Amino acid sequence: MSERRFRFGYVLASKKVSSFIQHSLIKHAQENGIDLVPIDLDKPLIEQGPFDCIFHKLYGPEWRKQLEEFALQNPTAIIVDPIDAIEKLHNRLTMLDVVNELKIAGDKETIGIPIQIFVGENSESLLDAITSQGLQFPVIAKPLIANGSADSHQMSLVLKPEGLEGLKPPIVLQEFVNHGGVIFKVYVAGEHVKCVKRRSLPDIPEEKLGMLENLISFSQISNLTAQDQNDDSFAELIEKAVMPPSRFVTDVANQLRDALKLHLFNFDMIRDEKVGNRYLVIDINYFPGYAKMPNYETMMTAFFLDIAREKLNNESR
């Protein structure tokens, strides 16, 4: 395989190209026999190439049709990933269903999801919906659609019933679980898994609920800002946070990959502050910001090489 070069075509939004297709990744991939080639959307896909693999983060009927035509004419090529599988992550109510189906070995760590409910535009009472499902304040309000748009990241922390008045359905209301102010972001690229720690919402003691606002809006709650990174108290919080066992993380990642039928995704996981071995998956994202990881080029190139080997296996059948 070392003598052959592989052409990987990609279709990404311009912002994603800037963050992911960095010179360091292009160079590292080239040194390992992988050429990353941008696909021109102004030309029919079938007239471009040849491509051993296409990876993308694009939707819509026209692109779907072009991918299907390409796959028919290039049956040994690898598509990363099928649009039908990707779109299952666009609905926050159902995206986490697969987590409850995982069979994690061992008797220590457990995996699950928070209680969550859907509130539609025709719902008469948000408060009735919450109480009927056993939800207690605080709760996190998330847009139903999770398609990577700015609107899909507009989340709110609702601390009191009065805060519900500022919400606009359709939304998903998710149980807020105290988790030590740290979230574990697990990046998956095929069989390669990397877990990193990030700042999250602080714990909210029950006795302080009455002293806080009714509703607090957040934008991409777990992301760091430059100011956060220079905050000594934050650095100490992250440093002291114990990582989940790597065996457990890998087991969850592998089972999610198989259940979702996706190569490229990450999931956000928290550890219940009350039950230290209870972990909850609170979100899953397709083709996340891999470049935020140190040395992401190494992980992604290793994944590309796995795909190249899969392509060779397809050709030999």
Report whether 183 belongs to an annotated binding site: yes
The three-state secondary structure class of 154 is strand
Half-sphere exposure of 97 (CA within 13 A, CB side): 10
**191 labeled binding residue:** no
Question: Is 292 among the annotated ligand-binding positions?
Answer: no
Q: Is 239 annotated as a binding residue?
A: no
CA–chain centroid gap for 286, Å, is: 5
Residue 179 assigned as binding residue: yes
Question: Torsion-angle region of residue 277: left (phi > 0), alpha (psi -120 to 50) or beta?
Answer: alpha
CA–CA gap between residue 57 and residue 301 (Å, rounded):
18
- Ligand-binding annotation for 185, yes or no, is yes
According to the annotation, is 175 in a ligand binding site?
yes
Close Cβ partners of 239 (under 8 Å, ≥ 6 residues apart): none
Name 191's Cβ contacts closer than 8 Å, sequence gap at least 6. 254, 257, 303, 306
Amino acid at 116: Q
- Asked if residue 194 belongs to a known ligand binding site, the reply is no
306 is in an annotated binding site: no
Distance CA 252, CA 273 (A): 20
Tell me whether residue 147 is annotated as binding: no
Of 162, 153, 168, 174, the C-alpha closest to 215 is: 162
Residue 153 annotated in ligand binding = yes
Name the DSSP letter for residue 243: P
180 belongs to an annotated ligand binding site: yes
Is 106 labelled a binding residue? no
Coil, strand or helix at 133 = coil
Q: Is position 28 annotated in a ligand binding site?
A: no
Q: Are strands 264-271 and 278-286 parallel, antiparallel or unpaired?
A: antiparallel
Task: Report whether 200 belongs to an annotated binding site.
Answer: yes
Residue 303 is assigned to a ligand binding site: no
**Residue 6, C-beta contacts closer than 8 angstroms, at least 6 positions apart:** 33, 34, 35, 52, 53, 304, 308, 311
90 is in an annotated binding site: no
Residue 84 labeled ligand binder: no
100 known member of a binding site: no
Cβ pair 183, 269 in contact under 8 A: yes
Residue stretches of the annotated binding site for 1D-myo-inositol 1,3,4-trisphosphate: 16, 153, 185, 285, 289
Residue stretches of the annotated binding site: 16, 57, 92, 142, 153, 174-185, 200, 268, 283, 285, 289
Residue stretches of the annotated binding site for Mg(2+): 268, 283, 285
Residue stretches of the annotated binding site for ATP: 92, 142, 174-185, 200
